[in-house]
Amino acid sequence: MRLRLADGERVIVKTRAHRRVLLGPSIALLLVSAATGYVTGLLGRTGLPGPLERALPFLQAAVPVTALVLVLAWCVVPLVRWVTTWTYLTNRRLVVRRGMAGREQWELPLVLVRGIDVKQSMAQRGSGAGSLVLHAGGRPNVLANMPAVHRFAELVTDAIEGPRWPAPLHGVEIEGDPNTDWMGNG
């Protein structure tokens, strides 16, 4: 499903969170795989203590099921969330869309933005990622882990400022007396 745009609205940037957000799920996948292999190997040994040997059929079934649940929760869900979340910057608004079948959409009209801050941790600086904080409506709206966050902040600022005056109107430059208002009153 495409983003619906109003007349005269155009998409400037379509992006998603920086791929560094997948580092944690990748490490979790490695750790769960290693732990599953270790415990499976441990349960396959001979000479286990009596209570452990009696519970062996249950444990041999529980280990892969537990590993599967952990991989789904810690790896697959964050990956699907990352793949299905997009951030759009148009010349009028900022839109964050999440989900595939059931879609959630958050919008912020750019005319409401009163300030922009960029926050970066030491780890984020190396990759150019960071959090973009948009101050609107008396509260901050945070877009975490944005790629090329400084460039994105520049694009948001340019979109907020809009076209430079005098703006061309149907190929004609607007000229006027600087001492009169838009209605011609002096």
The model's pLDDT over 75-108, given as tens digits with 9 standing for 90+, comes to 999 999 999 999 999 999 999 999 887 789 999 9
Token pair of 37, please? 């292999």
CA 94: distance to chain centroid? 12
In this structure, the dihedral spanned by the alpha carbons of residues 51, 57, 58 and 59, taken in order and rounded to 10 degrees, is 70
Q: What are 138-172's pLDDT values in tens digits? A: 889 999 999 999 999 999 999 998 765 554 545 44
Q: What are 5-54's pLDDT values in tens digits? A: 999 999 999 999 999 999 999 999 999 999 999 999 998 888 888 888 88
pTM: 0.77
Residue 136: pLDDT band with limits 50, 70, 90: very high
